Amino acid sequence: MVTINKLSVTVRKRIFVLFILVLICSVLLGLRTAWVQVFHNNKYQNKALEQRLREVKVEPKRGIIYDRNKVELAVSASSDTVVAAPKDIDNHQQVAQQLSKILDMSKSEIHQRITKNASAVYVERKISEEQTKQIQQLDLDGIYFTEESKRFYPKGNLASHLLGFAGVDSQGLQGIEYYYDRYLRGEPGKISIENDAIGRKIPNGIKDYVAPDDGTNVHLTIDHVLQYITERELDKAMKEHDAQAATIIMMNPETGGVLALANRPTYNPNQFTEYSAELWRNRAISDTYEPGSTFKIITASAALEEGVVHPNDKFYCPGHIEVAGQTIHCWKEGGHGKQTFSEVVENSCNPGFVQVGERVGTEKFDNYIRAFGFGKKTGIDLPGEAKGLLYSSNNIGPVELATISFGHGISVTPMQLITAISAVANDGQLLEPHLVKEIVEKDGSLIKKIEPQLVRKVISNKTAATVRKLLTGVVEEGSGKKAKVKGYKIGGKTGTAKHYGKKLYDASFVGMLPADDPKLVALVVMYGVDSYPYYGSQVAAPIFHNVVKDAVRYLELPPGNDSKEEEEKTESVEQVKVPNVKNMTLDKAEEVLIERGLEVKLEGRGNKIIEQVPKAGVIVNEASTVILFFSGNEDRKDNYQVTVPKLKGLKLSEARDLLGDLGLQIEIKSRGNVISKQKPNPGLTVGSEDKIKVWLSY
């Protein structure tokens, strides 16, 4: 009996414990149910909805790219994309077979896509209207359409290198399309469709459509008419000359806005995948080349700004010049002889510019080169810009300084060069070049306006005006004659540079007009010319003429004053004997020189003049520069050396006059009336105090 009672008590205890455990579990289960269904009801409802919804992204339309006159250069059109819901398809093989007949895809490729373990997959994107109609007529289960945006370039290959192109996902890949992608692309929308547990579409189920936010519109500084003119002339030039490539850029120097930018060879951005990626490259900003004599504009600007040369200063070119044991030749056999600096620029004389570069000096010249923007990116709003190649200042020796002074031993991009020359055209103000004028919302509201950005003031207004005047001589009387446009004063410079180790040449011309107040600057570069003629004066200057002739008519730029009165402004230059100002105070020396109509350049600081160049008694042109040296700066005289002229064959009187003009003295070593020998030899440089020894014969 006792045993039975103990067993009964044990059973009851166990039942009680079991009851408590069940009760606790029930309470916990109830709390959990309340937690899920009451407190987190929205969260789990949304999760359930997400499991039932299938989303398809809807691409926005990219913004329109306009030229400066609102002509469309890049637009987006609606295009259908084929989407498959694999779980809705009954016979995948049959569907793949039917679609392959319409789409440019193999049956196996389509079958692979529509059998993926996914709620929705792309079959083919951005198909034609005809393909859409054919697929719709098949009425295939599980095959749907979504609308996407397809990029189209209505002008074909016009401005292709600056516009670039967009990929299949409407992402910018090159040019303006890439650089301004964040504005052009917009925000995608979506379509949501409700399905049951096994993926079938629920009739009258939830369908949600979130509209995409289309991209904003970009307005360029480019003018499509000017762009057409440049590309037309490039096509003609490529047929006429055997060249590897070519570039033309037109710029407004007062704003830095690029009016036209074209390269050859080119491509059509509507079918960019059919072209080599090499053709996509924008060589106007990404390729470097030796500028040749066009770079002499920078040398002249630096020298005039530093006051080490004046347009009336005298030089002599015997056809070559010796620098640190190296012979540098002039392009003209026999040289240009005696000439003023104006004529040095007009004649594009290499020995003359070597002397000018030496006067400026390595450190100052390097500073000017970099101040004009060479050796670094211009900041143009395009991807892939190159910096160009410069010597480090520590590696510029006498020979390097000499070659850089006439545009060799330095590599620049076309954009760097036209930007620098535009600074000369714009009174010495270097502006950041740009291609976009403004960015505008779809409703017309302004998002961003691109204003001219001043980088720095490189040279003075006076220097810039003097350089422009010198450059008009190049076009009027010098190597740039074939660039002339009737009725317009044009300042410009030709350039020719040989490829190292190859018989290939880069021919170029850069010019500005009207020269007294430029509104247009244009650069023409023909790369790798291997036919004759290959000079910039024969190849690039005529192209510049053809481009600018039509451009000024279109832009309605008024012609300048081309009357006789204007021509007669080139008055005869009077000559002056240089006075002796050594040992004078600075104030007294300046007073004496200015009274004689001479310019003054100071080397160093102080109050007493120790040396002067040219020396006293030399006959120079009015407004020539006299260099005054203070104590401690006498060694700078070496920068103002004179090139020894060729005297052989001259009469003694002729030799005296020539040497006197150059500030050199003569020492006669034998009797006679005609010079038969001289020392130093022609082409060497000497100081103004040095004597030229001559031997005479009868």
Q: Which sequence positions are flagged as catalytic?
A: 293
Where helices occur in 524-664 by DSSP H, the ranges are 536-555, 564-567, 586-595, 652-661
Written as six digits, the tokens of 211 are 């509209």
Written as six digits, the tokens of 373 are 């923007």
Rounded to whole angstroms, the maximal C-alpha distance in the chain is: 167
Cα of 312 vs its chain's centroid, Å: 35
CA dist 57 and 50 (Å) reads 15
Cα dist. 225→67, 485, 506 in Å? Answer: 10, 19, 27
Report helix, strand or coil for 114: helix
What is the sign of the dihedral through the CA atoms of 307, 312, 313 and 316? Answer: positive
Angle of helix 414-425 versus helix 461-476 axis, rounded to 10: 110
Virtual torsion, Cα 417, 418, 424, 427, nearest 10 deg: -140
φ and ψ at 638, to 5 degrees? -65, -25
Neighbours of 612 (CB within 10 A): 24
φ and ψ at 621, to 5 degrees? -75, 150
Q: What angle do CA 668, 673, 676 make, to 5 degrees?
A: 70
CA dist 504 and 221 (Å) reads 34
CA dist 448 and 183 (Å) reads 10
CA dist 139 and 95 (Å) reads 10
Element (H, E) at 65: strand 65-66
φ and ψ at 403, to 5 degrees? -70, -35
Cα dist. 389→168, 291, 374, 376, 404 in Å? Answer: 37, 12, 8, 9, 12
Radius of gyration of the chain (CA): 39
With contact defined as beta carbons under 8 Å apart, do 267 and 298 qualify?
no
Cα dist. 465→249, 488, 531 in Å? Answer: 23, 16, 37
CA dist 536 and 524 (Å) reads 9
Written as six digits, the tokens of 612 are 């002067």
Residues 6+ apart with CB under 8 A from 405: 296, 299, 353, 354, 356, 357, 358, 365
